[in-house]
């Protein structure tokens, strides 16, 4: 959400952001509604002021003048009662349109439509060349008995799965490795609620445009989150930080839920795109300063890359184009891990992490402020990053470390979390 005064003064820039981010919003309708709202508000304020003035005059008026003032007071009251519903309706339309206004992308963000327009920043690690026919993660996990594919789909529907035995232990191991890495780097660990009220989803920018992706618990008016970002940011809704208390850096671990409403028939095989997953998410609150936000952004990105380095997974970092960044993001880097089994066995880099700067977009919606040294207040800046998301991360982990006999050699950093096991052997 942007400030309406900024929108009025920078309509062309906002219009460009709407176009380049591919947001369905009529800016002219918003500006017209805003004008209507301000006109109505001015009329109502005048009438309310006159109503108060009349009340004071009546108490001091002569017997002859009082009836006229009383009649005028009644007329003003009626006029207010007639116009206030219109104001309520206009304000509602205005608020709904404002929630769809995107943040302006940073100048370095490339203009584009899809992932093919992202700009590669760097590749890290060497893509492995196999001297045998490599298996994809579905074959490997089946061979090792790591997943029950069919059982859960009988009672939980499509895209459901159950990690079994070594598969379950591997997810726990990877998750704990990520957690320990972040704690060592100074982040505060949080296990937040995963059921939240609508305000939390709206405040963090996942509603209204992403509503179809969320699972709703209608009886309790709650929603299941698709990332710990939602509760971590919402922890401080309606709070004012002292500037000296920032930055605050959280690492939240949670189950996550997404309907994948827009992915019907896509990636239905395996664990690449599922409805339920486990994620460790980084969230930062910092002072509203672009230089400080940039520093925090690259620190978050570095944390994610450190985890991939420990897992010995080749990856690349790309600066996402305007069509690939969300409503509130001003900058996003995607980290794509090399998955040998993708692209019909030819291999491909696919997203496993993202790192985003959101400016004051979420703080403005969630009313999170910062009090500066001179006593003035402003909205905080927020950032977030995927530290690890499983089971998707298991795909490159297994596929990159497989051996000809179907065994999997674990990265050294993961061995302590797997009770000293160095090689996973297929089930007999």
State the catalytic residue, choosing from 273, 294, 371, 425: 273
CA gap 93, 87 in Å, rounded: 10
State the catalytic residue, choosing from 106, 159, 249, 258: 258
* Strands across the sheet containing 377-379: 240-242, 369-371, 377-379
What's residue 52's pLDDT?
A: 86
What's residue 427's pLDDT?
A: 86
> Is the Cβ–Cβ distance between 91 and 34 less than 8 Å?
no
Cα 251 off chain centre by: 14
pLDDT tier, 166 (very low <50, low <70, confident <90, very high otherwise)? very high
pLDDT tens digit sequence for 307-337: 999 999 999 999 999 999 999 999 999 999 9
- Between the CA of residue 319 and those of 94, 334, 335, 360, what are the distances in Å? 33, 6, 9, 21
pLDDT tier, 265 (very low <50, low <70, confident <90, very high otherwise)? low
63 or 137, which is more confident? 137
> Is the Cβ–Cβ distance between 324 and 114 less than 8 Å?
yes
Token readout for 293 is: 């936000």
What's residue 161's pLDDT?
A: 95
Average pLDDT over residues 144-158: 93
Instruction: Evaluate if residue 25 carries a pLDDT over 80.
Output: yes
Average pLDDT over residues 143-152: 95
Residue 53: how many other CB atoms lie within 10 Å: 13
Which class for 99: exposed (0-12), middle (13-18), buried (19 or more C-beta within 10 A)? middle
Q: Express as a percent the part of the chain with pLDDT over 70.
A: 99
CA gap 166, 423 in Å, rounded: 11
Residue 312: left if φ>0, alpha if ψ -120 to 50, beta else—which one? Answer: left
Instruction: Evaluate if residue 268 carries a pLDDT over 80.
Output: no
Architecture label for domain 4-98:
Orthogonal Bundle (1.10)
State the catalytic residue, choosing from 354, 356, 366, 390: 354
What's residue 221's pLDDT?
A: 97
Q: Express as a percent the part of the chain with pLDDT over 90.
A: 85
Domains of the chain by residue range: 4-98, 115-424
Instruction: Evaluate if residue 262 carries a pLDDT over 80.
Output: no
CA gap 72, 253 in Å, rounded: 62
Q: In terms of Cα–Cα distance, which of 39, 163, 46, 23 is closest to 98?
A: 23
Q: Is 62 a catalytic residue?
A: no
Instruction: Evaluate if residue 169 carries a pLDDT over 90.
Output: yes
Residue 234 is classified by DSSP as H
State the catalytic residue, choosing from 229, 305, 336, 351: 351
Token readout for 40 is: 């109505």
Q: Is 354 a catalytic residue?
A: yes
Strand residues in 198-325 grouped as ranges (E)? 215-217, 222-224, 240-242, 248-257, 276-286, 315-319
Residue 402 is classified by DSSP as B
CA gap 414, 173 in Å, rounded: 7
Q: Is 273 a catalytic residue?
A: yes
Instruction: Evaluate if residue 24 carries a pLDDT over 80.
Output: yes
pTM given for the model: 0.92
Q: Is 64 a catalytic residue?
A: no
pLDDT tens digit sequence for 357-397: 999 999 999 999 999 888 999 999 999 999 999 999 999 99
pLDDT tens digit sequence for 219-247: 999 999 999 999 999 999 999 999 999 99
Partnered with residue 134 across adjacent β-strands are none
Q: In terms of Cα–Cα distance, which of 134, 392, 387, 153 is closest to 280?
A: 387
CA gap 423, 428 in Å, rounded: 15
Residue 135: how many other CB atoms lie within 10 Å: 20
CA gap 94, 87 in Å, rounded: 10
Q: What is the mean pLDDT of the chain?
A: 95
What's residue 130's pLDDT?
A: 95
Handedness of CA 398, 403, 406, 410 (dihedral sign): negative
Instruction: Evaluate if residue 36 carries a pLDDT over 70.
Output: yes
Average pLDDT over residues 74-100: 92
CA gap 69, 74 in Å, rounded: 9
Instruction: Evaluate if residue 51 carries a pLDDT over 90.
Output: no
What's residue 406's pLDDT?
A: 97
What's residue 232's pLDDT?
A: 98
Between 3.40.1170.60, 1.10.10.10, 3.60.20.10, 3.30.930.10, what CATH number should domain 115-424 receive? 3.30.930.10
């Amino acid at each position: 959400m942007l400030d309406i005064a900024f929108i009025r003064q920078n309509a062309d820039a906002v219009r460009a952001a709407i176009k380049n981010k591919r947001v369905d919003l009529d800016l002219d309708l918003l500006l017209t509604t805003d004008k209507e709202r301000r006109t109505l508000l001015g009329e109502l304020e005048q009438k309310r002021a006159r109503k108060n003035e009349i009340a004071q005059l009546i108490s001091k008026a002569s017997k002859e003048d009082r009836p006229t003032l009383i009649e005028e007071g009644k007329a003003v009251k009626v006029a207010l009662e007639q116009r206030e519903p219109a104001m309520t309706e206009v304000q509602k339309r205005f608020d709904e349109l404002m929630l769809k206004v995107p943040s302006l992308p940073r100048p370095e963000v490339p203009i584009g439509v899809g992932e093919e327009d992202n700009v590669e920043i760097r590749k890290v690690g060497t893509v492995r060349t196999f001297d045998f026919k490599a298996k994809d993660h579905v074959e490997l996990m089946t061979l090792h008995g790591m997943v029950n594919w069919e059982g859960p789909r009988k009672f939980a529907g499509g895209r459901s799965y159950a990690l079994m035995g070594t598969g379950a232990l591997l997810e726990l191991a990877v998750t704990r490795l990520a957690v320990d890495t972040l704690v060592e780097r100074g982040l505060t660990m949080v296990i937040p609620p995963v059921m939240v009220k609508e305000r939390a989803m709206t405040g963090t920018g996942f509603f209204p445009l992403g509503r179809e992706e969320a699972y709703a618990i209608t009886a309790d008016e709650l929603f299941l989150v698709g990332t710990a970002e939602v509760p971590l940011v919402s922890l401080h809704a309606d709070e004012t930080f002292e500037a000296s208390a920032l930055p605050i850096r959280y690492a939240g671990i949670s189950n996550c839920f997404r309907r994948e409403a827009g992915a019907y028939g896509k990636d239905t095989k395996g664990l690449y795109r599922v409805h339920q997953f486990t994620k460790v998410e980084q969230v930062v609150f910092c002072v509203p300063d672009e230089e400080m936000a940039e520093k925090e952004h690259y620190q978050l990105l570095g944390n994610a890359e450190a985890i991939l380095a420990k897992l010995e997974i080749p990856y690349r970092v790309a600066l996402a184009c305007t069509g690939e960044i969300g409503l509130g993001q001003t900058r996003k880097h995607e980290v794509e891990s090399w998955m040998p089994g993708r692209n019909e066995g030819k291999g491909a880099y696919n997203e496993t992490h993202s790192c985003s700067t959101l400016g004051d977009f979420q703080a403005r919606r969630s009313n999170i402020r910062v009090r500066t040294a001179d006593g003035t207040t402003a909205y905080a800046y927020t950032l977030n990053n995927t530290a690890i998301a499983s089971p998707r991360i298991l795909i490159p982990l297994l596929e990159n470390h497989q051996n000809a006999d179907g065994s999997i050699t674990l990265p050294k950093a993961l061995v302590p979390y797997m009770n000293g096991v160095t090689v996973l052997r297929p089930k007999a």
